[in-house]
Amino acid sequence: MVQILVSAHSSGSYVAQEFLYLLYTKGMDSKGIVHHHDSVSSLGKPT
Amino acid sequence: MTKGKIDYYNLDGGSMYLSTSIVNSLAQVIFTYAYDSRIKTYSHNYSSMLSLTATYSSTGRARSLRTYTRLPDTPSTLLAHAALRWPSTTELNATSSGCNAGATWCMHDTVINQHPYNPNTYDLEADYTQFDANHPVTTIYLKQSIRS
């Protein structure tokens, strides 16, 4: 069984959650890359 | 291919972009926060971690996790924990943070660095990059992904 760990801290959770959103709505390409076309959520002070 | 294969740890973070649909596609999501009984202080976003656990509890895939000091628990701490009433909350032992009482942003960084550099608040540059025997990286939460 393949098991994947995704761990993100503070406002980094927004990036991880955007990645998971794209993964499960858009999927991966033939090379296993998840693409996005919008700017990733801005990272500033911790949430 | 990845549906039901990912364990996602939200380390004292936020909720943006998360949804029931996403959580249902994960193996589990663990909303992780920290508490130091010596100073009776939680990490800054602990209430959000509990709230998110409740929000997604119906999926059966969400739970909260509290990293915890090795020091003996106190009656007040036990009472506070019981009052939370989140049966999915798990406690793990972690080292004492070195944070000052009330320093929730220092506690915030203990899910990355067990002994943050500034006892009063976060120091992202140091806490994220300078690990040694006195400042060990926090990995204990990952035990939640060990399958029996």
- pLDDT tens digits for A6-33? 999 999 999 899 999 989 988 888 887 8
Total H helices, total E strands in chain B: 5, 5
**Residue located via tokens 């032992």:** B93
CB spacing of B112 vs A9 below 8 angstroms:
yes
How many residue pairs bridge chain A and chain B with CB atoms within 8 Å of each other?
94
pTM: 0.83
- Partner residue opposite A8 with nearest CB, options B5, B13, B105: B13
Exposure class string for B36-60: b at 16+ Cβ within 10 A, else e: bbebebbbbbbebbbebbebbbebe
For residue B94, give the nearest of B75, B116, B74, B76 by alpha carbon: B116
Residue A17 forms contact with B (CB below 8 Å): yes
Using a CB-CB cut-off of 8 Å, the residues of chain B touching A11 are 13-14
CA distance A46 to chain B (A): 8
pLDDT higher than 80, residue B70: no
Q: Which pLDDT belongs to residue A34?
A: 81
What Rg, from alpha-carbon coordinates, does chain A have?
12
Residues from chain A that touch B141, judged by Cβ atoms under 8 A, are 7
- Whether B6 and A8 lie within 8 Å, measured CB to CB: no
* Phi and psi, residue B145, nearest 5°: -100, 0
pLDDT tens, residue by residue, B26-55? 999 989 888 887 888 999 999 999 899 889
